[in-house]
Each structure stands twice: as C-alpha cells, then as structure tokens.
C-alpha cells in the first residue's frame, strides 16, 4: 500500500505554491513514481516513459495486461525526434494541425523507448496534450511521460479526480486534482506506419478532420464492430479488451426515438418484475419519456460534445446506484458520434437491440 497524496492545481495561472507542487510531482516521476494528472481528454496515470520500472508499475496499478502499450506524452514537438526512429511528413503535418491536442500518432520507436512501455512492439504511440497542468508536469518530469487513462483496467476512464481516487487510492504516489477534462473521451489514435494512415481508435479529432490535412485516411473496421463480426482482432492491442464496462448489464437500443422509449419502458417493467434494478441512459430531449429505477441524461442530442463529456461519469454513477440492468439510446456514428458509439458499444459488449432491422430481436451473439 502506498500513501496517495492529493494536490489541487488550478489550470488557469499557476501560483508560486502550485509551481513548487508541480516541481515536486515532476521529481516523483523522475524518481520512478506514479502521478495521476488531468488532460483535456481524461485523467492520465503518469510514469517516466523511458524507465521500464515505471511502466511495469503502471501496468500493476491498473491491473492492465502487459501487451497493451502505453501512450508517451511529450510537451515539445522537438522532443519527438528522440523517441521515434523516423518522422514522416504526415506526422509533422498532423502535429502542426492538432498538437497540442487530443491526437495520438503511432510511429516507429527509437532504441530509447523500452519495450515495457510499448507492450513489446517496435512502434510507439505519442501525443502532446493541451492541458496546461499536463504540459507543466511533463516538462518537470523529464519530458516523456507514459500515461494511460487513470482507471482500473476494464472500468470507464476517469473524468474527475474523485474517480481517479476511487480506483487508484493506495496504488500510486500522487493525484493532481485539476479541472474536469473538456472532452471526456480518450484521444484519437492514428497509425502512421501504414499507407494510407489508419484510425485505430476514434476520438474528438474525427476522420474528416484528419482527411482535410492528409488526404485519404482509413478506419480500423473493428472500431464499430466486435472482433467476432470482423473475424480479426483490433490493431490497437488495447481495443480488444473489455472496456468502460459498468457493473450492470448494458444494452443499446437502436431505432426511431418514440419506438425506442416504448420498447425500453416495456423491458424495464419486465426486468423489474424479475427483481432487477433498472437504469436508462436517455438524453435531454427524451428523458421525460422513461419510467425506470434510475433515469439519467447523458447530454443533449443537439450538442454531441455534452454526450462525450458525460458518458464515463454516467456509467460510473450507475455502478454507485447498483443497478443490475441498463438500457441506452443509440447515437449517430458520424463525426464525434463515432467515438461515442465506439465506447458505448464496448461498454455494452456489443449488445445491440435493433428495432428496425431485427423486429426487436436481440443481437447478443457477441455477448460473453
């Protein structure tokens, strides 16, 4: 058991005290310790990316399988050259357009990066976050910070410091409590070692945004389909694991809005008669249509960014309420919707009830 210290840093303008705290947090990283910190996507669990012992500690703290590589966070574009063996023109174009920001690039690694950090791969994932606290910590910590999301493996990524503490208290040295991440879903991952570049994980930076800079970009088909449907594993090793899952059994219901509400209400009464505690994930626009034990709005359909920001918190809240079944509305798979649906489908183990094409039959072939 490690004593986990929590410090508060406001991202606006660092006071002298906050600067000193950040230097102390950086020292913890340089000495091989672990510090969780806010980024603009979700909270990260940081360790020195060039120290194999730190990476091993990250895997242990999260209970993460060691073949699931970590993203290395940098604070200066000039630092990229040290950890990759080659910088293709496409990487410079993307860095220019989207860094600092929620985009991770896969590139061939240099010898400086230990295989413990890359899960045994010859490639390395690199991102420059835009959150001021993250940038300051990376600089103080030596410039290269491996930071997966700061949750226990399999749980929703943390979007506030309290969620980090739920999972990491007693397992890491420090938690930096900054503000809530503005985005709420992990970074877009794009593989630049293939031609055309390929999106391995969708995020705030959409395919359309990448294509405006690079021309054609492909998408790993496993993003919106289960490995069983695609007959192959996702290319990002981490995407093959069960993820973001609430404790209750989550089903996504697809179809025309009125019918979805009618169907969910019917299922809720049936489940409750069987003794289940049932939750519903609705939206601002539809919330009043539902009758269940716990009904929550994930955001507004008129502003998908609100849905991205709240999705993980809502999944954790259902755990606190100890609901045993959850029904969720489904969202468009275009633009930011692709990232929202990717996370929701994984949280549901790809359990979808399609009212249009299947006459209400369930597609639970992928449910384990």
Residues that bind Mg ion (CB under 5 A): 149
Q: Which residues are registered as beta bridge partners of 221?
A: none
159 binds ligand AMP, rule: CB under 6 A: no
Residue 158 contacts ligand AMP per CB under 6 A: no
What CA–CA distance (Å, rounded) separates 94 from 128?
A: 11
Q: Which is nearer to ligand AMP, 118 or 286 (CB)?
A: 118
- Which entry of Mg ion, ligand AMP, none binds 200, CB below 5 to 8 A by partner kind? ligand AMP
Closer residue to Mg ion (CB): 123 or 149: 149
Backbone angles phi, psi at 189, to 5 degrees: -110, 125
Strands 249-254, 198-201: parallel, antiparallel or unpaired by DSSP?
Answer: unpaired
Positions in 326-365 near ligand AMP (CB under 6 A) = none
What is the closest distance, in whole angstroms, from the C-beta atom of residue 45 to Mg ion in the complex? 9
Question: Would you call 199 helix, strand, or coil by DSSP?
Answer: strand
Asked if residue 118 binds ligand AMP (CB under 6 A), the reply is yes
Q: Binding marks (x or -) toward ligand AMP, 186..205, rule CB under 6 A? A: x--x----------xx----
Residues 6+ apart with CB under 8 A from 22: 9, 14, 133, 136, 137, 140
Strand order in the sheet with 218-219: 5-8, 174-177, 35-37, 44-48, 145-146, 71-73, 123-127, 103-108, 188-191, 198-201, 218-219
Residue nearest to Mg ion (CB): 149
The distance of closest approach from Cβ of residue 49 to ligand AMP in the complex, given in angstroms and rounded to an integer, is 11
Whose Cβ is closer to ligand AMP: residue 148's or residue 282's? 148
Residue from 46, 47, 69, 279 that binds ligand AMP (CB under 6 A)?
69
DSSP 29-87: HHTT--EEE--SSS-EEEEETT-HHHHHHHHHHHT--TTSPPEEE-S-GGGHHHHBS--
Rank residues 126 and 323 by Cβ distance to ligand AMP and give the closer one.
126
**Cβ burial, residue 274 (10 Å; 0-12/13-18/19+):** exposed
106 scored as a contact of ligand AMP (CB under 6 A): yes
Residue from the set 108, 142, 237, 335 that interacts with ligand AMP by CB under 6 A: 237
Binding residue (CB under 6 A) for ligand AMP from 25, 29, 71, 168: 71
* Shortest Å distance, C-beta 312 to ligand AMP: 12
Q: Which residue is nearest to ligand AMP (CB)?
A: 238
Closest CA to 220 of 189, 184, 177: 189
Q: Does 219 bind ligand AMP (CB under 6 A)?
A: no
Name, in order, each residue with C-beta under 8 angstroms of 242's C-beta and a sequence gap of 6 or more.
154, 346, 349
For residue 200, the minimal CB distance to ligand AMP (Å) is 6
Cβ distance to Mg ion smaller for residue 119 or 279:
119
Residue 125 binding partner per list Mg ion, ligand AMP, none, with a CB distance cut-off of 5 to 8 Å that depends on partner kind:
ligand AMP
Q: How far apart are CA 118 and CA 66, in angstroms?
A: 9
Q: How many residues bind ligand AMP (CB under 6 A)?
A: 20
- CB pairs under 8 A, 24+ apart, for 256-263? 256/355, 256/356, 257/285, 257/286, 257/329, 258/289, 259/355, 260/286, 260/329, 260/330, 260/355, 261/286, 261/289, 261/290, 263/353, 263/355, 263/360
Which residues is 8 bridged to in the sheet?
177
106 binds, among Mg ion, ligand AMP, none (CB under 5 to 8 A by kind): ligand AMP
Q: Quick one: tokens of 72?
A: 């290395």
- Residue 121, interface with ligand AMP (CB under 6 A)? yes
Considering the complex, what minimum distance in angstroms separates the CB of residue 238 from ligand AMP? 2
Q: Least distance from C-beta 283 to ligand AMP, angstroms? A: 26
The window from 53-61, 221-229, 237-245, 340-348 that contacts ligand AMP (CB under 6 A) reads: 237-245
Binding site for ligand AMP (CB under 6 A): 68-71, 106, 118, 121, 123-125, 148-149, 186, 189, 200-201, 236-239
């Amino acid at each position: 058991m490690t004593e986990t210290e929590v410090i508060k840093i406001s991202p606006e303008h660092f006071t002298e005290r906050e600067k000193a705290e950040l230097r102390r947090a950086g020292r913890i990283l340089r000495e091989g310790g672990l510090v969780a910190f806010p980024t603009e996507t979700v909270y990260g669990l940081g360790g020195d990316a060039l120290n194999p012992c730190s990476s091993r500690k990250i895997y242990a703290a999260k209970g993460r399988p060691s073949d699931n590589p970590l993203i290395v966070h940098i604070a200066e574009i000039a630092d990229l050259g040290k950890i990759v063996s080659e910088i293709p023109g496409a990487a410079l174009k993307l860095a220019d357009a989207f860094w600092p920001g929620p985009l991770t690039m896969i590139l061939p690694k240099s010898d400086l990066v230990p295989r413990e950090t890359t899960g045994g791969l010859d490639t390395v994932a690199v991102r420059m976050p835009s959150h001021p606290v993250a940038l300051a910590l990376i600089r103080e910590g030596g410039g290269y910070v491996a930071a997966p999301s700061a949750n226990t493996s399999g749980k929703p990524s943390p979007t506030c410091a309290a969620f980090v503490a739920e999972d990491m208290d007693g397992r890491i040295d420090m938690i930096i409590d900054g503000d809530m991440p503005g985005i709420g879903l992990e970074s877009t991952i794009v593989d630049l070692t293939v031609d055309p570049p390929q999106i391995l994980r969708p995020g705030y930076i959409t395919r359309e945004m990448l294509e405006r800079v690079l021309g054609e970009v492909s998408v790993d088909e496993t993003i919106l389909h289960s490995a069983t449907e695609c007959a192959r594993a996702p290319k990002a090793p981490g995407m093959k694991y069960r993820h973001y899952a609430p404790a209750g059994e989550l089903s996504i219901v697809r179809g025309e809005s009125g019918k979805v509400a009618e169907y969910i209400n019917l299922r809720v009464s049936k489940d409750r008669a069987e003794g289940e505690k049932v939750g519903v994930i609705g939206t601002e626009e539809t919330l009043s249509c539902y009758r269940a034990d716990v009904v929550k709005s994930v955001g507004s359909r008129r502003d998908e960014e609100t849905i991205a920001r709240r999705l993980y918190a809502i999944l954790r809240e259902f755990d606190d309420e100890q609901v045993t079944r959850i029904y969720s509305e489904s969202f468009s798979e275009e633009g930011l919707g692709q990232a929202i649906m990717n996370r929701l489908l994984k949280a549901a183990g790809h359990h979808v009830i399609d009212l249009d094409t299947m006459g209400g039959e369930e597609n639970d072939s992928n449910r384990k």
